[in-house]
Amino acid sequence: MNNSVPDPAPVLELIEAFRRSKIMFAAVALGVFEQLSAGTASAETLAKELQADADALERLLNACVAMRLLTRDGDQFANAPVATTYLCRESPRQLTGYINFSNKILWQLWGNLEDAVQDGTNRWRQTFGSDGPIFANLFSTEEAKREFSLGMHGFGQISSPAVVAAFDLGRFGRMVDLGGATGHLVIAACGRYPNLRAVVFDLPGVIPLAQEQIAASQLANRIEIVAGDFFVDPLPKGDLYAVGRILHDWSEDKIDHLLRRIYESLPASGALLIAEKLLDDDKKGPMWAHLQSLNMLVVAEGKERTVAEYTALLKKAGFSKIEARRTPGPLDAILAYR
């Protein structure tokens, strides 16, 4: 008879996991990394600059050191390279917009996960008193729109290069990224495939920031920006359409509608590139996909899917040959041919 007691480590780690997230969220929100981008400082100096309690702030700073976001030499704190790259707003790879969104919005929505599981619906009304639409909640001010979009751009700079490298896209001439936001996917694609031209198609409010990021990429002569709603407006012509982190937002009825529109707009030799995190066939992993699927539950109306589930949706819309590739990045890739 085996009377051994299971190791409690997995449970203990999860009990404290949310605390680690909140340490980073709070340090970003308070401006710790921004302040340290100017140079090293003591906890006492930072407390005066950030109008914080010195003892409480030092505890937060030391926790950031333990998490390798900061370094400490004597009483002087400094940003670690990872913080300089991803946690400072002036960095071209910043994730602060998504971190602040996680802190202000997702943190509260996830607090009602139990109700979301019981009802099977998002938690906007319960949490914030409004049903949305989701993007109206996100983009209530120009600053909120810019911050969130730049955070997603930083995330896209991590994921998009692996997505466009998953398949040989050199055969295509014009890529149309539907809901392309700041253009990180087309920038990565045009950077990899010198003969490719591209279009970013997104809502009018997103266009100025897309123009800014594309101009900075040095690829503006090959990338066009068009305003529109991919559910209702005519889609720009291309032989390769792309949807990155789009399908997981929506219900199957809306996905069916969008996929049929894409299929009907493609030429005979055209294809659709999908960038999403794929669940394993047996749905036992990966953890990132499960976390995203629950995130879609509390924040939107969609979910993450397996290759087989995406294949069924694509075939229903008319697509024939369908290939999937796992990537080492946050998103995987599917290429579906007309």
State the architecture of 134-337 in CATH terms. 3-Layer(aba) Sandwich (3.40)
Contacting residues for 327 by C-beta, under 8 A, at least 6 apart = 159, 162, 163, 165, 166, 333
Residue 146, pLDDT score = 83
Do 332 and 318 form a contact (C-beta atoms < 8 A)? no
DSSP reduced 3-state for 243 = strand
Distance between CA 122 and CA 27 in Å, rounded? 28
Residue 231's nearest CA partner among 260, 200, 272, 273 is 260
Q: What is the CATH number of domain 9-86?
A: 1.10.10.10
Q: State percent of the chain over pLDDT 70.
A: 97
**Minimum mean pLDDT among 14-23, 53-62, 101-110, 123-132: which range?**
123-132
Residue 6, pLDDT score = 95
Tell me if domain 9-86 and domain 134-337 are identical in fold: no
Residue 148, pLDDT score = 81
**Minimum mean pLDDT among 100-104, 127-131, 176-180: which range?**
127-131
Average pLDDT, the chain: 95
Rg of the chain taking only CA atoms, in angstroms: 22
Give the other-Cβ count within 10 Å of 306's Cβ: 16
Distance between CA 51 and CA 185 in Å, rounded? 40
State the pLDDT confidence band at 320, using cuts at 50, 70 and 90. Answer: very high
For the cut 90, the answer to whether the pLDDT of residue 133 exceeds it is no
The structure's pTM equals 0.92
Domain ranges of the chain: 9-86, 134-337
pLDDT digits 0-9 by tens, 181-221? 999 999 999 999 999 999 999 999 889 999 999 999 999 99
Do 276 and 325 form a contact (C-beta atoms < 8 A)? no
Q: What is the mean pLDDT of residues 4-11?
A: 95
Q: Where are the alpha helices (DSSP H) in the chain?
A: 9-30, 32-36, 43-50, 54-66, 81-86, 96-101, 107-110, 113-119, 124-128, 134-138, 142-165, 184-192, 207-216, 252-265, 287-299, 307-317
Distance between CA 235 and CA 262 in Å, rounded? 8
Residue numbers annotated as active site: 248
State the pLDDT confidence band at 268, using cuts at 50, 70 and 90. Answer: very high
